[in-house]
Amino acid sequence: MREALAEAAFELFLERGFERTTVDDIVARAGVGRRSFFRYFPSKEDAVFPDHEGCLVEMTAYLEANAGSPDPVGTVCDAAGIVMRMYAAKPDFSVQRYRLTREVPGLRTYELSVVRRYERTLANHLRDHGPETADGSLRAEVIASAVVAAHNNALRSWLRAGGEGNAEAAADHALSLVRDVWGTAGGAGAAAVGVLPGRLPEGDGEVVIMVARKGTPVWRVVRGIESALGASPVAGGA
């Protein structure tokens, strides 16, 4: 019933416009009573975003299931990926909704409130499971904002392209920037790389010295080494 009402509502929004469509129009198209609409949606705006409630529940469950992860930043990035998969599952609908939302100021305001709920959920997880520091609450808000900004940048680029391309890959790339900056445990496990001049046993060259805190993910160590080698033609050819 929820899906039928959402489908009927969206069809009418596209045909007549959001403002000119009434709840009575929607229930008539769906073939149900007016009370049925308000049983599932408090307002017309909610009918434009019928999948976000379920997605938020899924995200919250994922965060709770991974509350013991040593990498809470990675966990919230993965949780943001759940939202992208929701959009990518219905590309035509997602693109049409994006265009409709751009045309109706009230829907943009509603969308911002939805985004804020996601951001608040991520920040709460980081606050509860991140490192216990004096600025822990601030760090949680900043990282959550960065996750949402990276995700939304990838999402909007994909939507503006008409839903073409790999949305999940775009989100992974954008979120990798957040992982790189904040690292394990909100940045506490970030690896440091130094390149010092020296001599290799078999000839002239540079020695790459890698310094990493305990618990740094292997992928960060490898990326640090690759970055150092790539920046040094001599070391890279050794």
> Do 193 and 232 form a contact (C-beta atoms < 8 A)?
no
Q: Do the beta carbons of residue 221 and residue 193 sit within 8 Å? A: no
CA atoms within 13 A on the CB side of 92: 4
Please count the CA atoms within 13 angstroms of the CA of 235 that sit on its side-chain side.
Answer: 18
Name the DSSP letter for residue 32.
Answer: S
Give the pLDDT confidence score for residue 26 in this predicted structure.
Answer: 94
Architecture of domain 51-182 in this structure: Orthogonal Bundle (1.10)
Q: For the segment 107-143, what is each residue's pLDDT rounded down to a tens digit?
A: 999 999 999 999 999 999 999 998 888 888 999 999 9
Task: Provide φ and ψ at 180, rounded to 5°.
Answer: -65, -40
Residues 122, 131: Cα–Cα separation, whole Å: 15
Residue linked to tokens 């979120």:
175
pLDDT for the residue 188: 42
Q: Does domain 2-47 have CATH number 1.10.10.60?
A: yes
Structure tokens at 78: 């993965």
Segment 204-214 shows an average pLDDT of 60
Residue with tokens 């198209």: 29
Spans of all domains in the chain: 2-47, 51-182, 192-236
Residue 2 pLDDT > 90:
no
d(Cα 100, Cα 88) in Å, to the nearest integer? Answer: 17
Average pLDDT over residues 84-111: 93
Q: What is the mean pLDDT of residues 21-45?
A: 92
pTM: 0.73
